[in-house]
Amino acid sequence: MQVSNSTSQANEHKFRGKLIVLTGPSGVGKGTLVQILLQRHPEIYLSISATTRSPRPGETSGEHYYFVSRTDFEKMISDHYLLEWAEFAGNYYGTPRLPVEQQIAEGKTVLLEVELDGANQIYTSCPDALRIFILPPSFSALEQRLRDRATDSSSAISSRLKRAQIEIASAGDFDVQITNDDLETALHQLESVILP
């Protein structure tokens, strides 16, 4: 039995998942939003990134990130194993391609929490991805959050703030912008955009 092209395409679309790309400056609360979103909606698949940075207290490889050596990461780049990658604050970050493609093929909603460079790379290769930018209520609030987090040196915070200015200027290029002023409000907005 031969299936018509339109029926075949409709079935493929019906069972194919979607890719959500979430970005925003360091300290804006992306991680907190994603953590609560996944608790409420465990059907969403969170892609785990690979990085060359050292684990922070409480982080474990394979759960928060895949912590790899610089040499291994550079091999992943040369082997085209990454959907996107970027170097930030002296470390590499990237998204392994195969798990994302497998989950989308199975009809899952896949969420990527990535830096701006990575989000732009994904847009080039996956223009159908829904791109969401998380904004701070103000630049001073972002600076306070980074200092309160107490995970970075003063020079690292300064570097992150300089980078944040560039990132925030790109927010208008994204499909959706959500200001993380009140956590519950931001979560509700995120749910309304991501969930059918």
pLDDT at 141: 87
Give the model confidence (pLDDT) of 85-133 as tens digits: 988 789 999 999 988 999 999 999 999 998 898 899 999 888 999 999 9
CA distance 16 to 135: 30
pLDDT higher than 70, residue 41:
yes
Whether 5 maps to a domain, the answer reads no
Q: How many domains does the chain have?
A: 1
CA within 13 Å, CB half, 160: 22
Whether 40 maps to a domain, the answer reads yes
Whether 126 maps to a domain, the answer reads yes
What average pLDDT does this structure show over 176-196? 94
Whether 33 maps to a domain, the answer reads yes
Whether 9 maps to a domain, the answer reads no
CA distance 128 to 64: 26
Note down the domain range covering 124: 17-194
CATH number at residue 141: 3.40.50.300
Pick the residue with more confidence: 184 or 145? 184
Whether 116 maps to a domain, the answer reads yes
- φ, ψ for residue 103, nearest 5 deg: -65, -40
What global pTM score does this model have?
0.79
Whether 53 maps to a domain, the answer reads yes
Give the model confidence (pLDDT) of 136-179 as tens digits: 999 888 888 887 777 778 888 888 888 899 999 999 999 999 99
The DSSP bridge pattern shows strands 176-179 and 130-135 to be parallel
